[in-house]
Structure 1
Amino acid sequence: MMKKIVIHEEYCIGCRLCEIQCLVKHSSSGKIIKAFREEYPRPISRVHVEEEGYLSFALQCRHCEDATCIENCMTGAMHRDEKSGAVICDEEKCVGCWMCIMSCPFGVIQREKKERKIASKCDLCGNDGEPACVANCPNEALSYEEN
């Protein structure tokens, strides 16, 4: 059993704090102002809030059991972490072919343009306990639970 982020859209108010906290967590500085004003290219959030009328919810990698991104990755960059069970992208192995992006049924993998183009997705904050998006959601619209 692995822990996964569970979305409770009935509590989401669309504040986007999950996006901001994710961006800061994956920045070089770990500081909100520096991440937004001084880091170039700006880090990207690995969670995105979708909105449709009055409904909003945070969308990120589901760490699928039968992950098509792993199956279609030609370099082995997309893999399952042995310890946590999370689907992770090894940035050193990623060649930017985007097969993972094309095969993800949820559309949650994106292109990051650092020094080179690589795939970027939720990594559950690298097993640092509770992911930043969950820890900083003011309305508890995200939870981190055993599945």
Structure 2
Amino acid sequence: MALVNGHAFAGGFMLAMFHDYRVFNPSRGFLCLNEVDLGVPLKPAMSSIFRQKLSPQVYKVMVLEAKRFSAKEALEGGIVDILGGMEECLALVRDRKLNEKAKTGVYGALKAEMFRETLEYVTPEGHEREETRFKKAWELDDQRKDEGKRKVVEWERNGSKAKL
């Protein structure tokens, strides 16, 4: 259970998302992934927890627009479970009988299956594989940009000669 009592940006927001339930202060703060504004890419494990827990529409505006979600917007978007403080947090546990859910012994297994994609990314093998894939994707993107620049220069040089 994450009790977010004010702003949660970037890593703080990610930490809250790794919790099963989130309670957010209704009168203070925003939730935001501002990596696009900072020019910082999300690594696979970072991105996957948001992909797995949020709707595609919320994920899109969160990642591509760095939208700052107010408490009301975060609740409406399913980012948080309830608004409030410690009293509401304890009421959530009590009302949903969360302290009884682990008694059967399968709670952890159910969570592991729900979030197996993210769990795979944080294993040493998964992390290494995804880092390699991530670096390769950046290299290919750099090559694509370089090729595009080369083609623009070539086109500008030969601009008066239309190719049909």
Larger Rg: 2
Structure with the higher fraction of residues in strand conformation? 1
Structure 2 length-normalised TM: 0.21
> Of the two structures, which has the highest relative contact order with CA contacts closer than 8 Å and spacing of 6 or more?
1
Structure with the higher fraction of residues in helix conformation? 2
